[in-house]
Chain A
Amino acid sequence: MIITRDASTYRTLQYNLAKDSTTLNQLYIKESTGVEVAKASDNPAAVGAIINGRNEIVKGERYIANCQHVQDNLSVSETSITSVEEIMTKAKEIAVTGANDSLSASDRSTLADEVSQLQESLLGLANTQVDGKYIFAGYNDQTLPFSGSPVTYNGTNDHQMIEVSPGETVAKNITGEEIFMSPVNLFTTLDDLVTALKSGNSTTISAQMTPLENAAEQARTQLSLIGNDSARMDDMVSLHENAQLLIKDTLSRNQDADVTVVLSDITKMENSLQATMQVAARVSKLSLMDYL
């Protein structure tokens, strides 16, 4: 086969110059953006992993935020419940003091006043508000949950469930019912103590110790549950953070260009383009006409 320089050689050179320039241009873009798979056709097999990775990152960040949100809410509840526990322990101490036979009626009346004050504080704690929302009210977080005499609970028994990992939800609140009303009613327990102190009978006063202890125990149970959940949130956050690192790593592996490889490809391609250009220059110098 005869290769006619004017037609074939120049066309082939043109074709190769165009091809090399295009490839080189693509490599320059890869190097400057650092992205290997910018569009689906760059690697259709990696599309699933890339979309999934991006999705997982958004979800993971939200789960971490949710875990922290749950933790924040639980720690606010924890502070209040710790105070509740202290109040009940204090009330029990008062009962111990009040049961002492050597106490006069006026001493017991003073103690009864002290208990009434504790009851006020308890009501205040039960109506704790954060961000304008009552934290021990279930879903009715904008209505005063505890009021009246005897004190009644106007909240709901619902937990606000927050998703902390796919399909897994955690309650961010303790309801007023759980901590103040049932099984032990903290308000009536204190009421009973006031009544007993006022009656002046040390046996009746002593009888209040068990319910008071149960009330304090009810608060402690909730505290330990909160502690558990809070620790679980800590674990969950670090779990998600580790997962985020892995996902970001996988995403980068699927999506990002290996800068070193691209650079060496660029060098290779530049050499090839230069060679093609040199050949083009040489071919155009060759002409029989120079010798005729």
Chain B
Amino acid sequence: MSSLIASLYTGASGIFVSQTAVQVTGNNIANVNTKGYSRQTANITSSLPLEQGGLQYGSGSTVDSIDRAGDAFITKQLITQSAIYSEYDASSTPLSSIEQSFSINDSSVATSISSFFDSWSALSSNPAGTTERQDVIQKASDLANRFQQIDQQLTQVVDGINTTIESTIPSLNEQLHQIATLNGSIMQTELSSSSDANTMKDQRDLLVQQVSETTGATTYTDGAGMTCLQLNNGQPLVTGNVASTLSTAKVNGLTQISLASGQSSTSLNGKSFGGKLNGLLSVRDQTVPEFQNDLDQLAYTVANNVNALHTTGIDQNGNPGTDLFTLTAPTDPLASVWQGAAASIAVGFTDSKLIAAGTTSASGDNSLATTIANLPNTTSVNGSTYAEEYSRIAAKAGLLVSSNEQKLTDSSQLLDGVNTKRDAVAGVSTDEEMVLLVQYQAGYKAASNYLSTIKDMLTTLMQM
């Protein structure tokens, strides 16, 4: 026969368990909006039974552990998907800036080119006209300015990306450091108290996700249960409780990232990264140079075609025509001849008398103006006319933006799906918690009633 005193303890365990469970539920409700928080559950088991008189009596319940809901597979998916989303998200702003530079409205280079050659056509009908001559110079300078402006806009895109990278790295280092510290703390906590370091694990998961969003780093768990991070190329970011440090330095106007791990330091390029940094670096190191090259080639071809014809003419002073456009040749002998053309294109003179409208000094000679006005009909850039070439560049920018937008939408939908899956497993539902609260409250009440019954019984016993 069991003792009434033992029954008292059984009742007390019920009260204790309900209290703990209410505490866990309360914590869940309090964290309903905490980012990265995983729902916790009190894992209630029955206590070891007592044996007396050949019978086994249950001795109440106990909270064995407080578990953290989670699914390693979903966590991994979330990390991967966040990195993909961040990559497209990071590319979208600089890509739209590039697209804006290569606009298709009336302020585009194509419009400036067509206005410039139109002014030559106007000059052909009045070759000695001062107004027409000044208009040619004005339109030439508009065209040169437009090329320079776009070149500057592209440089600004690069500058913007450099600044973003520079401001990203310090917080990334801080996150890596925190992950390494948490790795150590989690291991210590779990070793010393044999309980789960749930909150710290949540924090670590969130940090890992943030680091992966920035760098596309992949994770693995080492033998000691520590979360380790490494870059695409295998370079370690966090190994156990040791974090590597990333640093930035300007090389030729571009911010370069290098990784210091222990004593060694490696410089990293876009291929080392995924996520936000890859999105930014690929625009800066591949997309922008490509567009800059296209723009330079167009500026160079227009300027050289016009100059080649203009220098065959005779100006109003009777002198041979000089270059209408001036360009600065690239200093690097290996670079393409047109490198830097868009940045350096300028009008060679401001005196309208220096325009050569014809090939003789006769005042009515309009032959050269007619020839130059016809230049836009010739296919001189990559087998296309100037307008076709510009369309190709603008359409390329448009395609990049629209395909990036599409990828961004797709990946954000996928990310939303993974987040929903994560919420289903680890998210807090207040309704569910309320039901649990009612359940535990009832358990508490019942255990209390039971205790009071035992107390009555003890009193009865004592009064005998």
Q: Does the CB pair A140–B125 fall under 8 Å?
A: no
Closest beta carbon of chain A to B428's beta carbon, Å: 6
A8 pairs with B390, CB closer than 8 A:
no
A51: nearest residue on chain B (CB-CB)?
B391
A7 to B53, alpha carbons, bound, how many Å? 53
Contact B421 A1 (CB under 8 A): yes
Is B275 positioned at the interface, with any CB of A under 8 Å from its CB?
A: no
**Chain B residue contacts of A37, Cβ below 8 A:** 104
Chain B interface, DSSP helix/strand/loop, else mixed: helix
Nearest residue in B to A255 (C-beta to C-beta)? B104
Contacts of B213 in A (CB 8 A): none
**Chain A residues near B367 (CB-CB < 8 A):** 158, 161
Q: Which residues of B contact A54 (CB under 8 A)?
A: 106, 110-111, 114
B429 with A2: CB separation less than 8 A:
yes
A6 interface residue (CB < 8 Å to B)? yes
In this complex, which of A3, A40, A138, A163 has the most chain B Cβ atoms within 10 angstroms of its Cβ? A40
Pairwise interchain contact B370-A169, C-beta atoms closer than 8 A: yes
Within 8 A of B (CB), among A162-194: 162-163, 166-167, 169, 172-173
Cross-interface CB contact of A51 among B110, B377, B396, B405, cutoff 8 Å: B110
Within 8 A of A (CB), among B103-120: 103-106, 108, 110-111, 114-115, 118
B114→A59 contact, CB < 8 A: yes
Contacts A5-B431, A6-B32, A38-B105 known; A62 to B118 CB distance under 8 Å? yes
Query: Interface range on chain B: under 10, 10 to 19, 20 to 34, or 35 or more?
Result: 35 or more
**Contact present for A163 and B416 (CB under 8 Å):** no
> Quick one: given A133-B364, A158-B365, A167-B374, are A47 and B395 in contact (CB under 8 Å)?
yes
Interface flag for B128 (CB, 8 Å): yes
CB distance from B74 to the nearest CB of A (A): 11
Cβ–Cβ contact A139 & B397, under 8 A: no
State the Cβ distance, A87 to closest chain B Cβ, in Å: 25
A37–B390 Cα gap in the complex (Å)? 17
Chain A residues whose C-beta falls within 8 Å of the C-beta of B388 in the assembled complex: 48, 52
Q: Please measure, in the bound complex, the distance between the C-alpha atom of A192 and the C-alpha atom of B427, giving whole angstroms.
A: 115
A11 contacts B by Cβ under 8 Å:
yes
Does A156 interact with chain B (Cβ within 8 Å)? yes
Residues in A whose Cβ lies below 8 Å from that of B118? 58-59, 62
Task: Tell which of B401, B416, B432 touches A40, judged by Cβ atoms closer than 8 Å.
Answer: B401
Q: Could you tell me if B405 and A58 are in contact, using CB atoms closer than 8 angstroms?
A: no
Interface stretch (choices B43-51, B55-63, B150-158, B355-363): B355-363
Known contacts being A160-B364, A288-B431, is A41 close to B398, with CB within 8 Å? Answer: yes
Residues of chain B contacted by A12 (CB below 8 angstroms): 416, 420
Q: How far is the CA of A36 from the CA of B395 in the complex (A)?
A: 15
Q: Do A167 and B431 touch (CB < 8 A)?
A: no
- Cβ contact within 8 Å between A41 and B104: no
Residues of A within 8 A of B405 (CB): 41
**For residues 141 through 165 of chain A, which have their beta carbon under 8 Å from a beta carbon of chain B?**
141-143, 156, 158, 160-163
B104 pairs with A39, CB closer than 8 A: yes
* Bound-state Cα–Cα, A1 to B427, Å: 12
Asked if A281 is an interface residue, CB under 8 A from chain B, the answer is no
A6 touches B402 (CB 8 A): no
Q: B376 within 8 Å of A by Cβ?
A: yes
From residue A5, how far is it (CB to closest CB) to chain B in Å?
A: 6
Using A40-B397, A163-B370 as known contacts, say yes or no to A51 and B390 having CB atoms under 8 A apart.
yes
Question: Which positions in A face B, CB cutoff 8 Å?
Answer: 1-8, 11-12, 15, 37-45, 47-48, 50-52, 54-55, 58-59, 62, 65-66, 69, 133, 137-143, 156, 158, 160-163, 166-167, 169, 172-173, 287-289, 292
Interface residues of B (CB under 8 A from A): 32-33, 96, 99-100, 102-106, 108, 110-111, 114-115, 118, 121-122, 124-125, 127-128, 358, 360, 362-367, 370, 373-374, 376-377, 387-388, 390-392, 394-402, 405, 412, 416, 419-421, 423-424, 427-432, 434-435, 438
New A-B contacts (9) at CB < 8 Å, excluding given A3-B420, A55-B387, A161-B124: A1-B424, A51-B387, A52-B388, A59-B376, A141-B128, A142-B128, A160-B364, A161-B366, A288-B431
Q: Can you sample 23 A-B contacts with CB below 8 Å?
A: A1-B424, A4-B432, A7-B429, A8-B423, A11-B419, A11-B420, A37-B104, A39-B401, A41-B398, A42-B402, A44-B395, A44-B396, A44-B398, A44-B402, A51-B108, A51-B394, A52-B388, A62-B122, A139-B360, A160-B364, A161-B366, A169-B370, A289-B434
